[in-house]
Amino acid sequence: MNKMSVKDLKDLYGKKVLVRCDFNVPMKDGVITDENRIQGALPTIKYLLEKGAKVTLCSHMGKPHSIFSAEVKLNKKDKKKVDAGETTADAIIAKAKADEPKKLTLAPVAKRLNELLGGKVVFATDVIGTDAKSKRDGLGCGEAVLLENLRFHWEEEKKDENFCKELAYDAEIYVNDAFGTAHRSHASTAAIVEYGIVKTAVCGFLIEKELSVMADTLDNPRRPFVAILGGAKVADKLNVINNLLEKCDTLIIGGGMAYTFLKAKGYEVGTSLLEEDKVAYCKEMMEKAAKAGKELLLPVDTVVADHFPDPIDEKIEVKTVPSSEIPSDLMGMDIGEKTRKLYAEKVASAKSVIWNGPMGVFENPTLAKGTIAVAQALADVYGKCTTIIGGGDSAAAIQQLGFADKVTHISTGGGASLELFEGKILPGIDCLNEKN
């Protein structure tokens, strides 16, 4: 990567630095339930504080309801309820208005940061208001303030120029260390630099690490390079499949998306998840793989059931059938035992592996075996192979299984890493200053 990082900045003493972090941590009743993202941001913040900078931290938290935005837009779940006549849009918005300042405040994050950083962090109860300004004015060298949730302002996502100016305030340097939102082009992630408001713009250590591991592996993988893709749909990963096929030696497919590939191969897939309109695309990808001499592996056997589990952890009856013989009334939910073995063997002989998306309906213990087998296969090659987990469900699975320290890298950004896998340039990184 040729972008400047905080390490390239000289003389930070007394400098006013605005740092975009990703503090979008899971919370329950005001208590942080997983502080990985806070821990991930610490190296950059510590470095700046030790150098005597005056640091303003900012982040979003969750998806505040549109009551804070210019347009009133209900999310899918709420819209369903309104359509079913269970409630009205007005009632939903009124409730959101009452709840969100409490539910989506960054105050608990500020408290935790203050504990971790020895009492050096204060919290501003607004983003660009009087509290933020007075706390920013009052910062001493080696002190920090965390602003309230950026997305309490609709202007954040709409890249409003005035908002960018107010957010920058007197910052001389901008640091982006929020990999999880680097694929978004918002006020705090890119526009503040794109509009020329803050001219010195560099990345933090977290982004630097994410890029050096992921981009380097994609561009210069140690071979054989195996890419494993799962998850629900082909449609969500069209460009990822295409780009990875060009880079890797073996592309392994699992999860719901495998059935559209199996259909493209000429198999019947029963009541499994099937995207009819993507069958032709899957055929094209299989032809592309064959032409380029690459392996594209599909499940050879499949765990099937007669319905989708409801509730998701329902105790469900299953059996395993060859992928070419899925009965017309049954649904494919996970990769079978032979496939697990085949995929694990491929991982065992690889030198680089990237993985995104579960191999089955892993939320159900009976249907999690394929996902666990892949996680185990990655853990087994620890130290011999570069293993990268592209965030999201696969990262959660690796963590739940206790294998987090048995892989080379777990990305903090599911969406951002998928866009890297697609070969896209991320706006939050593109806007930063080049080295030299």
- Decide whether 143 or 393 has the Cβ nearer to ligand AMP: 393
| Sole binder of ligand AMP in the list 363, 380, 422, 430 (CB under 6 A) | 363
Residue 327 neighbours by CB under 8 Å, 6+ apart: 270, 304, 321
Stretch that binds ligand AMP, among 21-29, 43-51, 212-220, 352-360 (CB under 6 A): 352-360
For residue 197, count other CB atoms closer than 10 A to its CB: 19
Binding region for ligand AMP (CB under 6 A) out of 287-295, 338-346, 354-362, 373-381: 354-362
* 256 contacts ligand AMP (rule: CB under 6 A): yes
Count Cβ atoms below 10 Å from residue 411 Cβ, excluding itself: 26
Q: Which stretch binds ligand AMP (CB under 6 A): 14-22, 228-236, 261-269, 287-295?
A: 228-236
- Of 14, 52, 415, 423, the active-site residue reads 415
User: Is 360 a residue that touches ligand AMP (CB under 6 A)?
Assistant: yes
Q: Which of 15, 37, 112, 151 is catalytic?
A: 37
Assess whether the previous peptide bond of 224 is cis (omega < 30° from 0): yes
Residue among 16, 103, 111, 233 flagged as catalytic: 233
Contacting ligand AMP (CB under 6 A), which of 64, 221, 255, 270? Answer: 255
Q: Counting contacts by CB under 6 A, is residue 393 touching ligand AMP?
A: yes
The 10 Å Cβ neighbour count of residue 360 is 27
The smaller minimum CB distance to ligand AMP, of residues 6 and 241, is found at: 241
Q: Which stretch binds ligand AMP (CB under 6 A): 37-45, 189-197, 353-361, 405-413?
A: 353-361
Site for ligand AMP in 298-337 (CB under 6 A): 332-333
Q: Which of 50, 236, 314, 345 is in the footprint of ligand AMP by CB under 6 A?
A: 236
Q: What region, left, alpha or beta, does residue 322 occupy, with left being phi > 0 and alpha being psi -120 to 50 degrees? A: beta
Does 234 interact with ligand AMP (rule: CB under 6 A)?
no
Identify whether 311 is preceded by a cis peptide bond (ω within 30 of 0).
yes
Supply 141's token pair.
């060298």
Amino acid letter, residue 357? G
Q: Whole-angstrom Cα distance, residue 299 to residue 311?
A: 26
Is 406 a known active-site residue?
Answer: no
Candidate list 180, 332, 392, 414, residue with the active-site label: 392
Q: Which stretch binds ligand AMP (CB under 6 A): 61-69, 217-225, 227-235, 340-348?
A: 227-235
Residue 344 near ligand AMP by CB under 6 A: no
Q: How many residues bind ligand AMP (CB under 6 A)?
A: 16
The answer to whether residue 223 is catalytic is no
What is the number of the residue whose Cβ is closest to ligand AMP?
Answer: 231
**What value, to the nearest 5°, has the Cα angle with vertex 20 and ends 387 and 418?**
35
Q: Which residues of 241-256 are buried (b: 16+ CB within 10 A; e: fewer)?
A: bebbbebbbbbbbbbb
Q: Identify the CA nearest to 228 among candidates 216, 215, 240.
A: 240
Is 415 an annotated catalytic residue?
yes
Task: State how far the Cα of 210 lies from the Cα of 67, in Å rounded to an integer.
Answer: 34
Residue 390 interacts with ligand AMP (CB under 6 A): yes or no: no
Residue 291 or 315 having the CB closest to ligand AMP? 315
φ, ψ dihedrals at 5, nearest 5°: -120, 170
Binding mask 259-298 for ligand AMP (x = CB under 6 A): --------------x-------------------------
Stretch that binds ligand AMP, among 18-26, 231-239, 342-350, 402-410 (CB under 6 A): 231-239
Residues 361, 389, 395, 420: which binds ligand AMP (CB under 6 A)?
361
Which amino acids are annotated catalytic? 37, 233, 392, 415
Q: Which residues bind ligand AMP (CB under 6 A)?
A: 231-233, 236, 255-256, 273, 332-333, 357-358, 360-361, 363, 392-393
